[in-house]
Amino acid sequence: MSPRDAGRAPVIVAARRTPIGTRGRALASLDVTALAAPVVRAAVADAERALGGPVRVADVVLGNCMGPGGNPARLAALAAGLGTGVPGATVDRQCGSGLAAVLDAAAAIRAGDERPRVAGGVESASTAPVRSLDGVPYSRAPFAPDGFADPDMVRAAEDLAAADGIPRSRQDAHAARSHARAVAAAAGGRFDAELVPVGGLAGDDAIGGAAALLPRLPALFPGGTLTAGTATRIGDGAAAVVVVPGGATPAGTAPGLAVRASAVVGCDPALPGIGAAPAVLAALERAGAGIEDVAAFEIVEAFAAQSLAVLDRLGVADDDQRVCADGGALALGHPWGASGAVAVVRLFGRLVRAGAPAGTLGVAAASVGGGLGVAAVLEVVR
């Protein structure tokens, strides 16, 4: 895609998120509507400043995977004060939902409906309902039908570590690095412009908490390598972006991230943690770019073993500064349906707010339960 083509592509012109609160802590009393509405409002206000006028939102598209059901995106649109005429759609690709919602919004604009959209994700793990089947409670729906492996994500991460020979020492080092980067980023104010305080929480509450304990934590499975410190903390939070057609202002496109290419792929449900790798490669191929062309990666760090397995398949070093440079989900926390959108917000901060030149590429990606991968290639436009 040429710079001129990038200027006509759907462009993310505003990006905000709540702090991520560990499940059961500071944000435990807030449901999905209370989490999502403030970031929707903040993102729209930012877009209006960037575009120099009112933003008439055509739709609100939010990812959510374990919430109350119904249509949380519509509730968020109403609670955000966008008016009764603004609809909503809720997307469930499990922990890739937030990124999938952004891509759905971009696809609608690319298809010809050139009206602005709000997209992102929200999860309140603290208020997620307990479901039951025939009166028997269960924690999740199946990721795969009978005849396929259907491990939960913790078991799948342990199996992936074993299959790829990823030792505990390497996982501990990866988690420690994520925390160290996030501590430095928070201290340096690099999250400040993207955060919308909610529920009295002004910053991500898991950062740094597990780092000192990593060597002493017991394995989660007998003879295994995964620990509570190399698995992300489940979190509550929301993230939202505003997507507009390129050239949305008289002077041209406002500074932002053009959605250059994307991919959603399937992989073996037995090892779902690798899904981000083929998705990233497919999205880069569609963008006519390679790993070496990417300035910033935000890959959802649900587990250290999963992240390392993805990096190995991409040929990227464990400590590559391009990958989650300010820490990832291992440090910030993982609000399932929002995390993919948090990755986009983080790229916006790292590239657009930080002044990266036009043409700079970023990649957001997530591996998904059941054997999926979602990825987007985003390009800075100015």
Residues with catalytic roles: 95, 334
Q: What are phi and psi of 198, to 5 degrees?
A: -140, 150
| Residues near 78 by beta carbon (within 8 Å), at least 6 away in sequence | 84, 86
Residues 211 and 173: their CA atoms lie apart, in Å, by 10
Task: Give Cα separations from 92 to 26, 62, 236, 359 (angstroms).
Answer: 25, 9, 16, 31
Structure tokens at 323: 């990958």
Task: Give Cα separations from 80 to 118, 125, 140 (angstroms).
Answer: 11, 21, 30
Residues 358 and 361: their CA atoms lie apart, in Å, by 9
Residue 368, CB half-sphere, CA atoms under 13 Å: how many? 31
Residues 367 and 273: their CA atoms lie apart, in Å, by 5
